[in-house]
Amino acid sequence: MTTRLFTSPMFLGFDHLEQMLERASKTSADGYPPYNIEQVSPTGLRITLAVAGFSMDDLQITQEDNQLVIRGRQGVDESDGRVFLHRGIAARQFQRAFVLAEGIEVRGAGLDNGLLNIDLARPQPEPRVKTIEIKRATNGAAGPIQTMDGQIDRETGQD
């Protein structure tokens, strides 16, 4: 059972935010691979994942709607005849997902010394101020209401 966070009538249109929070809470609690998130400029972010042992061909980054998904799968090649007495370096697949806020753009990614860096940009929103005109109703409030897609009669509620 999910708990609704935005039940107040003051929060109109925040359903998508509630869905994002729910999706973020369902992401894997597995700590592999470890990652950092840093702010590299006033509008720039960088996600760094420790992916030692993975090549560029083993990694895949996709953006699915507002979710950034990083997948890693190593091709294990046992044909070289190596015999491991101890195998402590993980050679497992992973999937790590990050929910991106509206407007966040993925600028690029790079692999350097076992660290996968993904650069993101958060454009600064332009402040918007809009004045809403208040029209005087004729004869009290008995006239039709003007809407974006037509008129609705106040008395009947019909088009």
Q: Which residues are within 8 A (CB) of 119 and not within 5 positions of it... i.e. 6 or more apart?
A: 40, 44, 45, 46, 106, 107, 108, 109
Number of H helices and number of E strands within the chain? 1, 9
* Band of residue 47 on the pLDDT scale cut at 50, 70, 90: very high
Query: Is 144 a residue whose pLDDT tops 70?
Result: no
The pLDDT tens digits for 62-79 are 998 889 999 999 876 655
Looking only at the bridges linking them, the beta strands covering 67-72 and 59-64 are antiparallel
pTM higher than 0.75: no
- For position 81, what pLDDT does the model report? 78
Closest CA to 74 of 130, 40, 33: 33
Residues of the chain with pLDDT > 70, as a percent, come to 67
Q: What is the CATH number of domain 32-121?
A: 2.60.40.790
Complete DSSP assignment for 64-130: ETTEEEEEE------TT----S---S----EEEEEEPPTT-EEEEEEEETTEEEEEEE-PPPPP---
Average pLDDT over residues 33-39: 94
- For position 147, what pLDDT does the model report? 60
Looking only at the bridges linking them, the beta strands covering 67-72 and 94-99 are antiparallel
* Band of residue 126 on the pLDDT scale cut at 50, 70, 90: confident
Average pLDDT over residues 96-122: 94
Query: Is 154 a residue whose pLDDT tops 70?
Result: no
